Amino acid sequence: MAYDCPVTELDSAPVDEDSPSAPVGPAQDTDAGPAPIRDVGVVRRWLAIVALALGGFGIGVTEFVTMGLLPNIARDLLPGTYSVDPASANASAGYLVSAYALGVVIGAPTIAAAAARWPRKRLLVVLVSVFVAGNLLSAVLPSFGLVLAARFLSGLPHGAYFGIASLVAASLMGPGKRARGVSFVLAGLAIANVVGVPAGTFIGQELGWRSAYLMVTVIFALTLVAILAAVPFRPGDPSATMRNELRVFSRLQVWLTLVLASIGFGGVFAVYTFIAPVVTDVAGLASGVVPWVLVMFGVGMTGGNFLSGWLADRSVSRTLLASLSALGLSALGFALFANTTPGLLIFIFLIGACAGACSPAIQTRLMDVSHNAQSIAAALNHSSLNIGNSVGAFLGGLAIAAGFGYLSPAVVGVGLAAVGLAVLVLSLGIDRRRARAAH
């Protein structure tokens, strides 16, 4: 890769960390990764990347639209409970969100390891087909228990899709542009928070919650057609095995990267989960302002995502250091100033930007430190981010329950970002020590 700054010890080239005799440097700032796809024209390359990003857009909508439609779902699927205790019914409907997240956590490593030998285009087609089936079933099944199972099914391909799609995009972009390829795929997820989720929520409120899942089904059907038409076929790797893929769990740097993602990124969700009561009860704004605050978050996320792709192609380590540091400072600013309208809008935008900046850099870091087990490592990123979702929401809820107010989750977010930053510093320190030992 060509750098815009002098190569330092922190940016030296890595080899397999299991080989004690070879020089070892930080894997995150190299072009070690999927072999570039060179025989594809420019037009088809970008059509393929757009097809992969469309899948990311669909995932963003199906993951987050449920949150905005919980009362509608509870009223329809749990009418007895809702008529007596709406809050309890809404809380029970929240299990649909948890079921999807559980599907992500379980499906990401399982599918990526089991299908290690598959051609990546074939695997993408299967994964998107599961999305179509899961969301269609979510829209038509009659009972809460069956819809719960459908949401679990819908979550299973989430992590594996982003992992494999990121590897394909990195191959399409080629050396020196891998992180930008990853960021283009994740841009679909970011843009979903700006356009898709508000649109799906509006459609679900006006035409019934089932129509939102039907909309997502159509998005994934279009994604399936686009992938079949645009993504180039490459044979699978016959030497790849589940055993080799699972060896990724023996690598310390993979674990450290997953931990920093689970904890550091949890700082985002500590704030995001409780944004509605902050808008209405703390800033004193109308509930109709909540979607616009979420749009600000999505716009920031989109901008941070693209900026991170450009920066991470120069140095993943520096991009992560800057992103996690900025996330902690933004959460602190939110805690101090979100009681005012300007403070609320500015700092939710910045938190979204930091979230968008972290994700492609973490994805690229995992692809690099995993060496020859990239499929499962790339998929694990989204398992760790969903764990971060749960951790941030849980700890933020504890702070509110303890009586510290709706801004206290932002203080929790500061702490989580600081812990994630400490884990990153430890990981980079290990890289540096290994490089010095090798030299």
pLDDT in tens, 21-51: 333 444 444 444 555 565 667 788 889 999 9
Q: Is 431 among the domain residues?
A: yes
Q: DSSP letters along 147-203, please?
A: HHHHHHHHHTTHHHHHHHHHHHHHHHH-TT-HHHHHHHHHHHHHHIIIIIHHHHHHH
Tell me 11's DSSP state: G
pLDDT on residue 75: 86
Q: Is 403 among the domain residues?
A: yes
41 and 159 share one domain: yes
What is the number of domains present in the chain? 2
User: What is the mean pLDDT of the segment spanning 89-111?
Assistant: 81
Rounded to two decimals, what is the model's pTM? 0.72
Looking at residue 9, its amino acid is E
For 224-275, write each residue's pLDDT tens digit.
999 999 988 877 666 666 677 777 778 888 899 989 988 988 888 888 877 7
For 63-95, write each residue's pLDDT tens digit.
888 877 777 888 899 898 888 877 677 767 778
Residue 261 to residues 367, 386, 392, 416, 420, Cα–Cα distance (Å): 14, 9, 12, 10, 7
Q: Is 348 among the domain residues?
A: yes
435 and 327 share one domain: yes
CA distance 420 to 422: 5
Residue 284, pLDDT > 70, answer yes
CA distance 364 to 370: 10
234 and 245 share one domain: no
110 and 212 share one domain: yes
Residue 102 to residues 63, 186, 263, Cα–Cα distance (Å): 12, 20, 17
CA distance 212 to 210: 5
Q: Is 170 among the domain residues?
A: yes
Select from 334, 238, 239, 224 the least CA-distant residue to 279.
334
The enclosing domain of 417 has a CATH number of 1.20.1250.20
180 and 269 share one domain: no
SS3 209: helix
Residues in the chain: 439
113 and 164 share one domain: yes
CA distance 200 to 282: 27
pLDDT on residue 131: 96
Q: Which domain holds residue 284?
A: 241-439
Residue 373 to residues 29, 84, 137, 152, 294, Cα–Cα distance (Å): 18, 52, 33, 26, 36
CA distance 410 to 331: 5
Q: Look at residues 209, 238, 267 and tell me which one is the last residue of a structural domain.
A: 238
296 and 387 share one domain: yes
256 and 146 share one domain: no
For 425-436, write each residue's pLDDT tens digit.
999 999 888 888
153 and 293 share one domain: no
Q: Is 205 among the domain residues?
A: yes
Q: Look at residues 215, 238, 261 and tell me which one is the last residue of a structural domain.
A: 238
Burial class (CB in 10 A: 0-12, 13-18, 19+), 284: exposed
Select from 433, 389, 438, 90 the least CA-distant residue to 261.
389
Residue 286 to residues 17, 70, 247, 277, 278, Cα–Cα distance (Å): 54, 19, 52, 10, 11
Which range scores top for mean pLDDT: 115-119, 152-156, 360-364, 431-435?
152-156
CA 295, 298, 304, 310 torsion: positive or negative?
Answer: negative
Q: Is 30 among the domain residues?
A: no
